[in-house]
Structure formats: C-alpha cells, structure tokens
C-alpha cells in the first residue's frame, strides 16, 4: 500500500492503456455520451444542401454522433468534478435526502441501449421523406428506404471507430501523466499537463504533418500527371492552338486536361457549319507543368503563345484560371467562342497535379500565387498593346478557379481599371474579395443574394432567372436600371455547399440560414452546432453530382453569365439560339464525365 498522502502510480501503465482501449476488459460506454451522441446522430439526418447517398449520410451521422459523444463525456466530467458538488446538496435539501436507487440507473442505461437504436431506425425512415423532397426540388434521383437503412450500420461504425480513437488519445494522456517522475505533483495537475502535450502534438500533426501527407498520398495515387491522354483525342492541326503546328510545347506535355482543352472545341469550319455564320479560327493557349519551373514562368509562356497565335488581333480574350488539376470548363470555353463566332482567344495554365479539394486543404496560398501570376501577366500584356488595337479582356473562374481569378486584383477599383468583365461561378466561402463584398453588402440585403453598392458594377445572382430579369430591365427604355462596365458577376446557387461551407458553421449560425431558403434549398434545413458543419462538409463531395442549375453544377447557365458581362443587347432569342448551339457542340466532345469535373 502506498504511504498516506502519496499519489498512487500504476507500475504497469501499458496494462492500463490496454485495458482502457477495451482490449482485455471492455469499459462500458458513457451513458451521457450515448444520449448526446444519439441526439446528434438523429439531427444529422435532417436535410442539408444537396441530396446525400446512404454512404455520405452515414459518415455525416457518425461524425456528428462522435462529436455529440465527446460533448456528453465533457459534460459528465464537469458533473463529476464540480457541478455535482453544487447540485447534489441543493437537491438533497429539496427531496429530503432520498436518492434514486442504483438499480434504476442500471435499468435506464439498459433501456438506452435498446431505445436509441430503435428510435434511430424509425428516424431514418422519416429522413427518407426529407431526402425525397430535396431530390424533387432539384430534379435529382430520390432514394428508397431500403437504401437509406444502410445509414445506420455505416454511421454506428464510424461512431465506434472515432470513439475508440478518442479513447486511445485519452489513454495516451493518462500514460503520460503516470510517467511523470516524482510523487509531489498532484495527479490532476499531471493529467492536465499531459493533455496539453497531446493537444499541442495533435495541432502540429494536423497543421504541419497531415496536409503534406495528404498531398503526397494524392500525388502518388490520384495525380493527373499519371493520367493518360484520352485515346479519342487528336493533336490540334492548326497553329492557333497550343500543342499544334508551331507551338513550342509538345501536345503530350500539356497534361491530361491541357490536351482536352486544346484538342476539344469546334474548329472554324465546324463553327460555320453549326451556326451558319462566318467564323474565325478560335485561339486556345495553355501552359503545362513542363512550360516553366514556377507559376510566373508558365504565365510568361502563356503570353508568348498569345503573341505567337495573333491573339492581339482578336475581338475578345478570356483568361480562365484552371482548377487544381488543370481542368478548364469545356462548356465555358465553347460558349465564349460561340458568342464571338470564334474571333476569340482563351488562355489558361496548369499549376498543380492534385484535385482542387486537396489543393484547398493543403496549400490555398499556392492558388492565389498562381492566379496573380497568370492574370497579371496577361493583363500587363494586353495593356501594353495600342489602346485602339487590343482585345476586350474578360476573366472567368469556377470553383477554386475563382480564388485564382480574384487574387490578381487588390479590389474593385483595380478590376475596373484592368479588364472588361469578370464572371465567377461557385466561389468558395474563403475567397477574400467575395467575403469582403458580402460582408459590406448594402443594408437590408441577404447573404444568399447580396447587393453591393446598388449593383452599379458588382452583382450576385442565384440562377439564370435573375440574369434574364436584369436583361429585360436593362433593355427597357423607361427603366433607370444601370449596370456599368466592367461588369463583375458572381453566380452562386443557394444549394452550393462550396459557396456556403465554412469552419464558422461549427459554432455560429450564418446569416444565410437565418434567411428564407433560396429557390433550391430545403426550407426544412436549419442550423445546429457541430451537426450542420458535418452535414455541409459531407455535401462537398456530392456538390457537382446534381442536375444542371443546382449545387455546384452551373452547366449551361454560363451562357447567361457570359451574356451579362459582355453587356451587348442580347435578346431572349439570342440566348436561346446560343444555348442550343452550345448543347449541339458539346454533344460532339465526349461524355462530360470524361471531359472533366470541376476538380
């Protein structure tokens, strides 16, 4: 037996560690954690932004339940450490010292093990109705109860794994506390110190080790540099395209997505055959990863290609920063060429080998550096041309490409003095300029559809219908509505999780969830601490896998967006004609799943 007043130390901390993990003598789950975790599991089944499959719903439910379990354990610790000492004496005075028999507590705990799974099973069936309503709102596939019942085992498995991981971390803290030499320090203080060490180590791993590990693993297994060129693509046979005759870059060196950008898209004779109008040979220039050692060198390679192909003589030039993999939206490129009958040049460059999601997690600053280098190089080149002999300059960005596009400008005044128009679709919530404009929006306007400075130069639209209404109003001779050039347009669906995801969702209810639901967001969606964060996080992988015009799928609404920033007097018939031509043109360019995603 230890001496009186001494702190007992386990002679075998490893044995305690093993026992804590349940490898020998399983410890019962926390009843508090089960209750709060079960509530969080159930709440995660409420609708969020896009319809979820049983797999993603199960993961979201497991993450929410594990978070709730942790909160329950935290509440239990506080109850045991200090709250009980305050509450119990007061309660005993009220009830005269009577206590609930321990047998009743055991019965309550046993009942919880039965009631919670049964209640969750029933709640999943209720959740199917919400998912069907959301799917109908978007014209997406509705899920059947039999499919969604798989949410329960997936969610419980994720929950159990995360609880086990949490117990392992707690055991490590306990082992460290017992490993402190000497007996003069109270065990509680040692435990607090050990938790501090574990917390610092966790932060270092998450902040320094994990991003690099994710990136290296992605580069090893999913890098687009390892993708083969689509076998149906043919090297361009015109000098107006990078990789074609006269281009300093071999076509194969443009990469998996650079070759798609330069090989796809209608040529001059195909444009004339489709539209019945005279056309020019469209220019498409692209710099691959081999065209320079850094972003600035690749940007200069793009400028040299613009000079070589005669882009200075074209009516319009579009700079389209690529997404993480180097993908340029083929629908946007083709639509831009249809608007100007091929009298165009489109420029882009690759800066990464990994998908946008990985790039976003591991190195967002790299995206900004790339965008600043590419856009600034082209803007400087255009402004060096004679004022009466230069193309109109437009900027287009989608998803992480909007981050690159914004990063080239210090603010609205810089945009106004540099370009002729900018279209940004599905901007991430973390974009600096976008966030500033939304934060400084005109009083009385909503976060989901803000208005900035009366819409004089910058406007936000939630769908093509908004753009049609503006076009009609601007064309009305009696209207006082004005949208000055250069026009800046943000197109963001109310159901796009890329636009609305933010770490703030953990503990703060955003304005967009206080406002009325937009045209394609379920009115049943509501904010819940922690739960909503996991819901929207698990919406991200499904963001673009919804019908055109919803989520992160902007589809042919790019036609309306381009018409808006170009600013000519387009009629409904013009828009309808170009949209029809675009759909015909895209039908010849292979399946969209092969042409790319927004990765």
Write the DSSP assignment of 163-218 as a string of letters.
HHHHHHHHHHHHHHHHHS--SSS-HHHHHHHHHHHHHHHHHHIIIIIHHHHHHHHH
Phi-psi region of 88 (alpha: psi -120 to 50; beta: other; left: phi over 0): alpha
212 with 229, same domain?
Answer: no
Can you give the pLDDT at residue 63?
Answer: 95
Range 180-183 contact pairs with CB under 8 angstroms and sequence separation of 24 or more: 183/6, 183/7, 183/9
Can you give the pLDDT at residue 365?
Answer: 73
State which of 199, 221, 243 marks the end of a domain.
Answer: 221
Distance (Å, whole) CA 317 – CA 320: 10
Can you give the pLDDT at residue 11?
Answer: 42
Can you give the pLDDT at residue 504?
Answer: 95
Flag whether 544 is in a domain: no
Distance (Å, whole) CA 434 – CA 436: 5
Flag whether 540 is in a domain: no
Can you give the pLDDT at residue 302?
Answer: 97
Q: What is residue 262's three-state secondary structure?
A: helix
230 with 148, same domain?
Answer: no
Q: Which helix (H) or strand (E) holds 458?
A: strand 458-461
Is residue 347 pLDDT above 60, yes or no? yes
Q: Which of 112-121, 294-303, 343-352, 527-536 has the lowest mean pLDDT?
A: 112-121
* Radius of gyration, CA atoms only, the chain: 29
Can you give the pLDDT at residue 449?
Answer: 94
Is residue 99 pLDDT above 90, yes or no? no
Residue, of 244 and 183, whose pLDDT is higher: 244
Pairing between β-strand 344-349 and β-strand 421-425 as defined by DSSP bridges: unpaired
346 with 450, same domain?
Answer: yes
Location of structure tokens 């007061």: 90
Give per-residue pLDDT as tens, 313-346. Answer: 999 999 999 887 788 999 999 999 999 999 999 9
Is residue 422 pLDDT above 60, yes or no? yes
| Local confidence band at 16 (pLDDT 50, 70, 90 cut-offs) | very low
Can you give the pLDDT at residue 556?
Answer: 87
Residues of the chain with pLDDT > 70: what percent? 82
Can you give the pLDDT at residue 18?
Answer: 41
Flag whether 323 is in a domain: yes
Is residue 182 pLDDT above 90, yes or no? no
336 with 250, same domain?
Answer: yes
289 with 199, same domain?
Answer: no
Count of alpha carbons within 13 angstroms of residue 370, beta-carbon side? 31
193 with 258, same domain?
Answer: no
H helical segments located in 2-52: 13-21, 31-43
Can you give the pLDDT at residue 594?
Answer: 38
| Local confidence band at 93 (pLDDT 50, 70, 90 cut-offs) | confident
State which of 168, 187, 221 marks the end of a domain.
Answer: 221
| Local confidence band at 206 (pLDDT 50, 70, 90 cut-offs) | low
Tokens of 436: 């500033």
Q: For the residues 372-393, what does the mean pLDDT come to?
A: 95
Give per-residue pLDDT as tens, 265-299. Answer: 999 999 999 999 999 999 999 999 889 989 999 99
Quick check: bond before 486 cis, omega within 30? yes
Can you give the pLDDT at residue 231?
Answer: 85
Whole domain around residue 210: which residue ranges?
13-221
Instruction: Give the chain's mean pLDDT.
Output: 84
Taking CA atoms, 28 is separated from 32, 164, 167, 580, in Å, by 12, 12, 12, 64
Can you give the pLDDT at residue 238?
Answer: 95
40-78 core/surface letters (b: 16 or more CB in 10 A; e: else): bbbbbbbbbbbbbbbebbbbbbbbbbbbbbbbbbebbee
Give per-residue pLDDT as tens, 102-113. Answer: 788 788 878 877
Can you give the pLDDT at residue 189?
Answer: 65
How many structural domains compose the chain? 2
| Local confidence band at 227 (pLDDT 50, 70, 90 cut-offs) | low
Q: From the centroid of its chain, how far is CA 474? A: 33
Flag whether 4 is in a domain: no
Beta-bridge partner residues of 392: 316
Tokens of 137: 């709102």
288 with 412, same domain?
Answer: yes
Task: Give the angle subtended at the CA of 419 by the CAs of 413 and 422, to the nearest 5°.
Answer: 90
Residue, of 158 and 169, whose pLDDT is higher: 158
Q: For the residues 360-364, what does the mean pLDDT come to?
A: 60
Range 404-407 contact pairs with CB under 8 angstroms and sequence separation of 24 or more: 404/321, 404/322, 404/367, 404/368, 404/370, 404/371, 404/374, 404/375, 405/319, 405/321, 405/371, 405/375, 406/371, 406/431, 406/432, 406/433, 406/434, 407/367, 407/368, 407/369, 407/371, 407/372, 407/375, 407/432
203 with 296, same domain?
Answer: no
Angle at which helices 400-407 and 364-383 cross, to 10°: 50
Is residue 261 pLDDT above 80, yes or no? yes
Q: Which of 53-62, 136-145, 445-454 has the lowest mean pLDDT?
A: 136-145
Q: Which of 112-121, 247-256, 338-347 has the lowest mean pLDDT?
A: 112-121
- What's the per-residue H, E or C state across 272-320? HHHHCCCCCCCEEEEECHHHCCCHHHHHHHHHHHHHHHCHHHCCEEEEC
Is residue 534 pLDDT above 90, yes or no? yes
Flag whether 527 is in a domain: no
Flag whether 157 is in a domain: yes
192 with 212, same domain?
Answer: yes
139 with 245, same domain?
Answer: no
State which of 201, 221, 241 marks the end of a domain.
Answer: 221
Flag whether 211 is in a domain: yes
Can you give the pLDDT at residue 597?
Answer: 46
Count of alpha carbons within 13 angstroms of residue 361, beta-carbon side? 17
Can you give the pLDDT at residue 475?
Answer: 87
Flag whether 76 is in a domain: yes
151 with 257, same domain?
Answer: no
Can you give the pLDDT at residue 546?
Answer: 92
Is residue 67 pLDDT above 80, yes or no? yes
- What's the per-residue H, E or C state across 501-538? CCHHHHCCCCHHHCCCCCCCCCCCCCCCCCHHHHHHHH
Can you give the pLDDT at residue 291?
Answer: 92
Q: What is residue 154's three-state secondary structure?
A: helix
Tokens of 236: 């361009």
Can you give the pLDDT at residue 5?
Answer: 40
Residue, of 355 and 220, whose pLDDT is higher: 355
177 with 194, same domain?
Answer: yes
Q: For the residues 382-393, what does the mean pLDDT come to?
A: 95
Can you give the pLDDT at residue 7?
Answer: 39
């Amino acid at each position: 037996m230890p001496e009186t007043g001494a702190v007992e130390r386990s002679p075998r901390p490893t044995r305690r560690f093993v026992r804590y993990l349940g490898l020998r003598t399983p410890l019962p789950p926390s009843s508090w954690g089960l209750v709060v975790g079960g509530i969080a599991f159930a709440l995660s089944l409420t609708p969020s932004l896009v319809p979820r499959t049983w797999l993603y719903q199960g993961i979201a439910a497991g993450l929410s339940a594990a978070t709730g379990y942790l909160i329950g354990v935290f509440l239990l610790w506080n109850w045991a450490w200090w709250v009980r000492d305050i509450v119990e004496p007061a309660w005993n005075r009220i009830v005269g010292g009577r206590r609930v028999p321990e047998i009743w507590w055991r019965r309550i705990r046993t009942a919880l093990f039965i009631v919670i799974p049964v209640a969750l099973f029933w709640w999943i069936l209720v959740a199917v109705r919400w998912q069907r309503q959301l799917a109908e709102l978007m014209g997406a596939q509705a899920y059947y109860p039999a499919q969604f019942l798989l949410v329960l085992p997936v969610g419980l498995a994720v929950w159990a794994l995360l609880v086990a991981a949490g117990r392992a971390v707690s055991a490590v803290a306990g082992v460290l506390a017992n490993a402190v030499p000497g007996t003069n320090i109270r065990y509680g203080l040692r435990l607090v110190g050990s938790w501090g060490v574990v917390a610092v180590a966790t932060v270092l791993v998450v902040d320094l080790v994990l991003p690099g590990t994710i990136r290296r693993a992605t580069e090893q297994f999913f890098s687009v540099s390892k993708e083969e060129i689509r076998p149906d693509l043919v090297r361009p046979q015109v000098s107006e395209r990078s990789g074609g005759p006269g281009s300093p870059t071999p076509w194969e060196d443009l990469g998996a997505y650079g070759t798609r950008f330069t090989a796809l898209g209608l040529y001059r004779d195909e444009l004339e055959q489709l539209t019945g109008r005279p056309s020019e040979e469209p220019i498409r220039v692209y710099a691959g990863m081999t065209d320079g050692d850094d972003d600035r060198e690749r940007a200069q390679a793009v400028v040299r290609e613009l000079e070589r192909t005669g882009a200075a003589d074209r009516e319009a030039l579009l700079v389209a920063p690529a997404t993480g993999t180097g993908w340029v939206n083929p629908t946007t490129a083709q639509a831009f060429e249809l608007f100007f009958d091929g009298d165009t040049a489109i420029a882009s460059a690759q800066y990464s080998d990994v998908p946008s999601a990985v790039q976003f997690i591991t190195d967002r600053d790299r995206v900004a550096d790339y965008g600043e280098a590419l856009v600034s190089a082209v803007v400087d080149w255009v402004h060096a041309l004679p004022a009466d002999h230069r193309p109109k300059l437009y900027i287009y960005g989608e998803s992480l490409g909007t981050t690159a596009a914004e990063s080239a400008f210090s603010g609205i005044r810089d945009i106004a003095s540099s370009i002729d128009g900018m279209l940004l679709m599905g901007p991430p919530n973390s974009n600096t300029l976008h966030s500033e404009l939304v934060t400084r929006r005109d009083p009385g306007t909503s976060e989901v559809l803000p208005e900035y400075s009366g819409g004089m130069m910058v406007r936000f639209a939630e769908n093509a219908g908004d753009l049609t209404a503006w076009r009609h109003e601007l064309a009305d001779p009696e209207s006082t509505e004005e949208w000055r050039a250069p026009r800046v347009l943000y197109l963001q669906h109310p159901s796009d999780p890329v636009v609305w995801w933010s770490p703030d969702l953990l503990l703060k209810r955003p304005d967009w969830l206080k406002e009325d639901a937009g045209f394609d967001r379920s009115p049943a969606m509501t904010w819940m601490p922690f739960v909503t964060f996991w819901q929207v996080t698990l919406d991200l992988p499904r963001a673009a896998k919804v019908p055109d015009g919803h989520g992160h799928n902007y589809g042919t609404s790019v036609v309306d967006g381009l018409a808006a920033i170009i600013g000519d007097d387009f009629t409904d018939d013009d828009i309808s004609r170009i949209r029809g031509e675009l759909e015909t043109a895209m039908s010849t360019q292979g399946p969209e799943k092969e042409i790319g995603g927004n990765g």
